[in-house]
Every structure is written in structure tokens, then in C-alpha cells.
Amino acid sequence: MTSHPSLVDEALAGSVRALAKLITMVENEMPGATETLQQLYPKTGQAFILGITGPPGSGKSTLTDKITKELRKKDFTVGIVAVDPTSPFTGGALLGDRLRMQDITSDEGVFVRSMATRGTLGGLAKATADTIKILDAFGKDFILVETVGVGQDEVDIVKTADSTLLISVPGLGDEIQALKAGIMEIGDIFVVNKADREGADRLVTELSLMLDLSPARGPWRPPIIKTIATLGEGVPELAEKILEHRKFLQEGDGLLKKRNERAREEIINLIEQEISKYIHKMLKYDVTFYEVIEQVVARKRDPYSYARKITEPFAKYYQIYKVDKGKS
């Protein structure tokens, strides 16, 4: 397997097509994907990754578009990764949405990528993380990741962000309940969008109370910003808060801490994937495995001791490893 030096070189020279091809290749785990990521890895770590999450229809795509324009005014380059399958970046857009997006998609400083829907969300999280790395390696200053904030899997995607915007809107009825369901703590900046609607101020108050009640969150108190995304109202203030949070993380040890935690999880995931890849290969070619299955079903043996037997080399290796690491 080889990496794709030509694609990498073309993308580095500024070819948007090469960049898109490279992402497709890595997304689909085509041959050379890992080598490409290996090659690009030293160039990553420069971009600031901003997660944008909230319920469907809350205005994530509209805000992503407006925040991008604000960042472009400050001469930052921007990569957008839309994980939300209904977002207007995804081609299935309504005409109005497509027109709305047009000026950012024709801007050279902006690269938009929609993630294809995956069979498994684990796969989606990995594909998203890999896409972010590629955009990072190719010099985007900011990478905005739009994702629907509904389940644990989306929360996992948001975990790849340095900073997260949590969008809510008035008039959903149980919006606070929805936020409480596990995602409140991931918000670094709270956005009350559709502030042209009734109930926006009440929602701000409720959010503020909830933040007061939530357990110690450290020195950063998430600000709450009201926006009307369609009109761009409140977006300059929001962009300022984003830059403020970035500065806060960079000047303290926040960014390093987040990235250490992320690297730790990533390394462990990769090791697990490698090991499980070999176990699957082994069992695939092991003709006696079918017998084992039959015996387990017939209760002639138990699955636990078989699992131990297959992984025995790791257990042995661990004994050596333990002593070895203990010494040095």
C-alpha cells in the first residue's frame, strides 16, 4: 500500500478537487488512506475546531454560514464539515438554501464537506475526525463541524471539537429538557437562535439559571448569545465570543488538556481496532472455530474460557510488558 503523494501535493498546491478526492479516499478507507493520514499528521494541530450542535431546524446551517462570513472578514480560512444529513450543504438543498450558501461555497478560503451517512455512527465519528485532520493539515484556520445534537453518538463527534456552540431556539416547548438530556455540559457557548420569536428572553433566563445550578465547570462560564441567524443579528458578537474562547483555551492549559484527552482516546481506539482486526482475520481462517461455536451452543464448552484461550498471547505479553515498563 502506498500513500497518495500526487494527490497530497496537488492539494497542498491549492487544488480543491485533489483535497476533495483525498477526503473521499480517507472517508472510504481506501488503500493508502492510513498512510496518507500518517503523512499528514505532523501538519495537523494548527486549526481551531468548532462544534456546532443543536436540534434539527434550530438554525445550525444558517449560523455556520454566517459565522464563516464573520471569520472570513477577519481573514481566517474556514473548513466546514456538515454531519447533519439534512443540512443544506448536502446537495439535497432547497433552492433558497443553495442560494444562501452560494457565496461561501464560491469563496476560495472556504471548503465545505458533507459527510455521507454511515451504516454505523462509530464509522461516522472516525470519518469526521479524519476529514477534520485533512482540512487541518491543509491549513484551514477554523474548522466548523455541524452536527445534530440528539444522541450520544453526536456527542462523541462533538468531542473532537476544541469549542462547542450549543444552539437552542424558543418555542420548542421542552427545549430545556432536551438540553438537559446529557448535552448541556458540552456547551462552551450557548446560542439562543430565532430571537425574533417569542420566548427568547425567557429561554436566556432559563439557560442562565441552569448554568448557575450546574456543578463547577471551571473558570470559563459559557456566555449566552441571542441571534437571528437569518438576518445575521448577534453573529458579530457570537464570533467575538468564539475568538475569546479560543484565546482563553490557548492562553491557559485548556486546549492542551482537551487535546491530550483526545489523543489518549484516539490512540486507545486505534490499538483496539488493530487488535480486533487481527482477531477477526484469525477466526475467519480458523476452521475449528465453527466447531467451537457448535460446542458453545451445545453447552459443551463455555465462551469465556475460549475467549481467554484466544487472547492468551496478549495476557503473556502483558506480563512481560508490565515488568519491562515497571523497570524503566
Ligand X SMILES: Nc1nc2c(ncn2[C@@H]2O[C@H](COP(=O)(O)OP(=O)(O)O)[C@@H](O)[C@H]2O)c(=O)[nH]1
Choices 55-63, 155-163, 250-258, 283-291; region in contact with Mg ion by CB under 5 A: 55-63
Here's the x/- map for Mg ion, 57-86, by CB under 5 A: it reads as ---xx----------------------x--
The nearest distance, CB 83 to Mg ion, in angstroms, is 9
The nearest distance, CB 230 to ligand X, in angstroms, is 4
How far apart are the C-alpha atoms of 7 and 10, rounded to whole Å? 5
How far apart are the C-alpha atoms of 42 and 19, rounded to whole Å? 17
CB 204 within 8 Å of CB 34: no
Residue ranges of alpha helices (H) inside 13-91 are: 16-27, 33-40, 60-73
Which C-beta is closer to Mg ion: that of 3 or that of 227? 227
Choices 1-9, 70-78, 80-88, 134-142; region in contact with ligand X by CB under 6 A: 80-88
How far apart are the C-alpha atoms of 49 and 9, rounded to whole Å? 24
> Which of 53, 87, 114, 163 contacts Mg ion by CB under 5 A?
87
The nearest distance, CB 171 to Mg ion, in angstroms, is 18
- Residue 299, sorted as left (phi over 0), alpha (psi -120 to 50) or beta, turns out to be left
Site for Mg ion in 171-230 (CB under 5 A): none
Binding-site partner at residue 295 among Mg ion, ligand X, none, CB < 5 to 8 Å by type: none
| Residue 84 touches ligand X, criterion: CB under 6 A | yes
Strands (E), the chain: 48-54, 78-82, 110-114, 142-148, 163-168, 189-192, 224-226
| Residue 52 touches ligand X, criterion: CB under 6 A | no
Choices 79-87, 122-130, 252-260, 268-276; region in contact with ligand X by CB under 6 A: 79-87
Which C-beta is closer to Mg ion: that of 37 or that of 148? 148
How far apart are the C-alpha atoms of 304 and 319, rounded to whole Å? 20
Print burial letters for 190-217: b (CB count within 10 Å at least 16), e (below 16). bbbbbbeeebbeebbebbeeebeeeeee
Binding-site partner at residue 168 among Mg ion, ligand X, none, CB < 5 to 8 Å by type: none
CB 158 within 8 Å of CB 50: no
| Residue 194 touches ligand X, criterion: CB under 6 A | yes
Amino acid sitting at position 45: G
Which C-beta is closer to ligand X: that of 60 or that of 245? 60
Binding-site partner at residue 58 among ligand X, Mg ion, none, CB < 5 to 8 Å by type: ligand X
- Non-local (6+) Cβ contacts of 230 within 8 A are 59, 62
Site for ligand X in 295-314 (CB under 6 A): none
Helix (H, G, I), strand (E, B) or coil at 112: strand
Choices 27-35, 52-60, 149-157, 284-292; region in contact with ligand X by CB under 6 A: 52-60
Binding-site partner at residue 234 among ligand X, Mg ion, none, CB < 5 to 8 Å by type: none
How far apart are the C-alpha atoms of 123 and 126, rounded to whole Å? 5
The nearest distance, CB 97 to ligand X, in angstroms, is 7
The nearest distance, CB 131 to ligand X, in angstroms, is 18
How far apart are the C-alpha atoms of 104 and 209, rounded to whole Å? 37
Q: What are phi and psi of 144, to 5 degrees?
A: -100, 130
Site for ligand X in 198-237 (CB under 6 A): 228-230
Question: How many chain residues interact with ligand X (CB under 6 A)?
Answer: 18
Q: Cα separations (Å) of 30 from 27, 37, 49, 207, 264?
A: 8, 12, 25, 45, 25
**Interface with Mg ion (CB under 5 A):** 60-61, 84, 87
**Interface with ligand X (CB under 6 A):** 54, 56-62, 84, 86-88, 193-194, 196, 228-230
